[in-house]
């Protein structure tokens, strides 16, 4: 439902936007379906943060004064944007522009080196919460979010 709502807000297709790194629609749909299944699990996003802080302890102090319930709502939206990013135009502002600016050195100053453990922790958490998780689902996640993560890094 969340992905469908976001897609309605930004209704471009891969075929209409040849400038983007191409990820086929089936791959994107596999990752999005996995995300929808994960979001049915009430603890999914909190579990992600536990996994991320365990795998990347240097990130935890960045959240010391953060309301994690509110943060999980933001995370849910941001993950949805990452999954939609390959289907959108390369024109600025992109659907990730606000998220990228917030995480850039001009605001939160999130070191781009944290994106790899972030994605690895996300995939680990998806594996624990998606009953249909498989190597194909993992590959779909990694392929689908790769261009969005590259964009985030480029805007640091």
What confidence tens digit (pLDDT) does each residue in 42-94 have?
Answer: 999 999 999 999 999 999 999 999 999 999 999 999 999 999 999 998 889 99
Q: Are 75 and 45 in contact (CB under 8 A)?
A: yes
pTM: 0.86
Whole-number Å distance between alpha carbons of 149 and 156: 11
Whole-number Å distance between alpha carbons of 2 and 77: 8
Q: What is the pLDDT confidence band of residue 13, given thresholds at 50, 70 and 90? A: very low
Note the pLDDT tens digit of each residue in 80-136.
999 999 999 888 999 999 999 999 999 999 999 999 999 999 999 999 999 999 999
């Amino acid at each position: 439902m969340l992905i469908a709502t976001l897609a309605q807000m930004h209704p471009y297709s891969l075929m209409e936007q040849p400038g983007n790194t191409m990820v086929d629609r089936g791959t994107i749909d596999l990752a999005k379906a996995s995300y929808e299944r994960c979001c049915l699990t009430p603890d999914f996003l909190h579990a992600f943060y536990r996994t991320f802080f365990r795998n990347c302890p240097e990130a935890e102090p960045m959240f010391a004064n953060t309301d994690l319930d509110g943060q999980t709502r933001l995370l849910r939206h941001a993950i949805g944007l990452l999954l939609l990013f390959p289907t959108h135009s390369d024109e600025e502002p992109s659907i990730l522009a606000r998220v990228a600016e917030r995480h850039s050195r001009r605001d939160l100053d999130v070191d781009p080196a944290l994106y790899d453990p972030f994605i690895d922790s996300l995939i680990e958490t998806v594996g624990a919460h998606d009953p249909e998780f498989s190597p194909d689902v993992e590959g779909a996640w990694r392929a689908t979010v790769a261009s969005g993560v590259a964009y985030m890094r480029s805007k640091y």
